[in-house]
Structure 1
């Protein structure tokens, strides 16, 4: 594959051309509309079609072209330092249910790939959460104990497959690496073969729930349905109470081919250095693609170029062979975090019966996305639901210890409404900041992104483009 040092499209997107699906060109009535063609949307639509429902999936861009196509593609039940926090905040039983939900989602992907015949480059590999600072070893030891108590067959170790020493690590064997977009394209193809409808380049601009749900698209076409699944991270409705319980972050990714003999086996994550995540993927004969993620930041803040240099520098110091070739791929991923570090999957708010959401995956959207697809399908069809259903219910009450974080997050959001200078997001009027690395205006409140060249929406929840804004304004980035 040719080297390409430009910033933008991910490795997963460049290597998976598809003929595409037609945009919606007429009004429709159906059983269920799924909004969003990422891992949640496609998995939900697929499960519903298999359950006999008539389903229409609407995607603003391309299938797998949003967040799902810009992840690192790790399917694992080991989610950083999650289990100690879950145990302390929600209890041992909740941690065990969370672990089981992730494990079952991972094995469901294996079954689907086998049944449908999807070549998603599945590879079994160990997952590690590690630290190099011995002063943080107790955090890792506590995580290992909590994960073991939650039912995961983890081990506390002081060695790994990394080319540098670690002070402590949690290891979980038999996890999965995969190609997320190949998986989604294969699932979408089978979905259509089973009678489902998929429409790309179809942005939904309005959703109303009355006696039935009515959706309006950017071109003016409407779709009526009994049930709607919103798989777009942030809800489309600005009145949703979820808006106050979600925060958004972007993260940078660099990738380069390294000799197969020197490529680390497994997937690795450390909370140190503003997070560093490492995995490899099949590349060509004699090489694997080393993928390194980190440098999380609030959308619209400045110094993104410096952050990219820091991440690339870390990759070259940690893996000297990484510096032997120009960076082949560089991109960014975006994700949404919930106030209590658990996803929201279920009814959007207490008053709705037919609008469902899935969001707040906190960087672990691959396993949680598959879990959400199965759970949402059960909600819609009335099928028996697993015992972790209430754990992920968007209508749940937050633990008291999480309220200070919610207050701080909303105070941060509020300050973006108080400034007097433009431009402002077309979603809810939040002040935008300029990301010079990606040449985009970005909303720190809810993650909407707009092209600097013409103001078009690159990423929602905004549905209307910026008007009269081209390029970057002087001193527009924020620290």
Structure 2
């Protein structure tokens, strides 16, 4: 039987290898109909829809396609999104909730059709989705959500029995949803896209956008792509023309995966908002006969706010929860994912800002990027090709601004301001690099400036500017993933300063470390 390397990496990444796509040649000029910035599920879905419609499309990805958020998701494709329908009904009215349900369920069915059409073996399985609670504290809220989801058009019901091996006080159930291998699905799309003449360029980080006619996109190596239309599908927009950084809240979430006997499969996809969110489902695991892969997600936090030692502690809490409820589980993988919440819980999909007719965006999926990414592809392709827009286009319009968003927007700005100003008023986290253990990192004052200092496993000390290159907030160290994170807008950097995740596009600047006196002075 094939063996799989065990480690703290995404199972989806480890179990679906792909050959590289060439980067754009330095200082080259390429002309296409549409350039898509970002090679995740939203970007690749959009590019694939456009290529099928006869457009010449180029996808530019800063790293590897299907390797960012999509390569580290939980692998659920569902229209049941926790406690979302009652809240959208309150914010956008009953019709808004119906349009949300129709669009999300349409995305679920579209993925099934595409996988069948292309013959992609993405381990797609139909399962019911549940939002559940273990205590009676949220029982009324659960019943209200069941009513709201049913009124929105989903085949939703309130139940007290589930397939979980522990008691749930109540749950919302929606049948016929999907769990699948997201990376295999996207690699299938990418192969078909290239087969139809589409271009994919990896290791091509975009740093500039000129929204003229035509538009011009510039990569950090000087390469330029000229196109009539541009789609920004970088998870968090790398350009702030629409001031979306003030309307998006980043959050990171941990994922662990364990083997369980097939008999222990709970037979569905489950999510509870309790205990800082817990999500459970399984996937095929061909590497161990008679076993399924149990995928457990939870422990949400804002990047850069977890504190020293906190992320590892969160992993331990998540694992303890799993072992308590699935005692025969055997941990084999752990990873983390990241997404952004909008102020009204509905993603931004459409024109980037009011002044443009050729630049589009897909962002703010709120942890439900599989369905919203596929939805983005269909909606943005309709915008660009001039096809009839679906009924839900206005609901997702990024230009929208509902009165009830104002309070959430002000709260978001207050949080960012606390990080931006408070980070500068708070003393350095450690007084000397001598306090930093191998493999750890902390903020240290060097020559009067706060620097992000990391000590390698071999004891070498590396110092970087602690100021995020996006808007200047101070970064913090994530001990479990060995990365610097910005608490304001979610940018992430490797210990050498290189960008792991936007919206930042430039690395953290290195700082000279000449002696112990330089470090502690």
TM-score bin (small chain) = over 0.9
2:181: which partner in 1? Answer: 179
2:416: which partner in 1? Answer: 413
Counterpart-to-counterpart distance in 1, 2:48 and 2:137 = 46
1:20: which partner in 2? Answer: 20
Contact kept in structure 1, 2:108 and 2:371, CA below 8 Å: yes
Counterpart-to-counterpart distance in 1, 2:208 and 2:333 = 36
2:313: which partner in 1? Answer: 306
Counterpart-to-counterpart distance in 1, 2:241 and 2:474 = 19
Matches within 5 A, 1:129-148: 129-148=131-150
Matches within 5 A, 1:254-273: 254-273=256-275
1:290 aligns with 2:333: no
The 3-state SS of whatever aligns with 1:328 is: strand
1:476: which partner in 2? Answer: none
Counterpart-to-counterpart distance in 1, 2:5 and 2:324 = 21
Deviations 1:153-180 (A, max 9, x none): 1111001000000001001111111100
Contact kept in structure 2, 1:206 and 1:236, CA below 8 Å: no
Counterpart-to-counterpart distance in 2, 1:102 and 1:361 = 11
2:327 to 311, 317, 320: 320
1:244 aligns with 2:251: no
Counterpart-to-counterpart distance in 2, 1:171 and 1:44 = 30
Contact kept in structure 1, 2:420 and 2:488, CA below 8 Å: no
1:475: which partner in 2? Answer: none
Cα deviation for residue 236 of structure 1 reads 2.2
Cα deviation for residue 295 of structure 1 reads 0.2
Counterpart-to-counterpart distance in 1, 2:4 and 2:29 = 44
Structure 2 unmatched runs, 5+: 425-449, 452-465, 514-521
- Select between 406-415 and 247-256 the one with higher mean Cα deviation: 406-415
Contact kept in structure 2, 1:207 and 1:236, CA below 8 Å: no
2:492 to 411, 431, 449: 449
Cα deviation for residue 470 of structure 1 reads 10
1:427 to 448, 455, 470: 470
TM (normalized to structure 2)? 0.87
The 3-state SS of whatever aligns with 2:284 is: strand
1:281 aligns with 2:315: no
Cα deviation for residue 416 of structure 1 reads 2.5
2:457: which partner in 1? Answer: none
Deviations 1:2-39 (A, max 9, x none): 576643x2100000111121111132011100001100
Counterpart-to-counterpart distance in 2, 1:172 and 1:153 = 6
The alignment's C-alpha RMSD in Å is 1.4
Counterpart-to-counterpart distance in 2, 1:333 and 1:147 = 27
1:387 aligns with 2:391: yes
Cα deviation for residue 342 of structure 1 reads 0.3
Cα deviation for residue 469 of structure 1 reads 5.5
Counterpart-to-counterpart distance in 1, 2:473 and 2:394 = 32
Between structure 1 and structure 2, the one with the greater Rg is 2
Distance 1:16 1:5, change over 3 A: closer
1:111: which partner in 2? Answer: 113
Cα deviation for residue 210 of structure 1 reads 1.7
Counterpart-to-counterpart distance in 1, 2:285 and 2:244 = 40
Counterpart-to-counterpart distance in 2, 1:237 and 1:21 = 24
Contact kept in structure 1, 2:4 and 2:15, CA below 8 Å: no
Contact kept in structure 2, 1:4 and 1:328, CA below 8 Å: no
2:501: which partner in 1? Answer: 459
Cα deviation for residue 430 of structure 1 reads 1.3
Matches within 5 A, 1:102-251: 102-251=104-253
1:354 aligns with 2:358: yes
Cα deviation for residue 135 of structure 1 reads 2.1
- Select between 404-413 and 306-315 the one with higher mean Cα deviation: 404-413
The 3-state SS of whatever aligns with 2:292 is: strand
The 3-state SS of whatever aligns with 1:404 is: helix
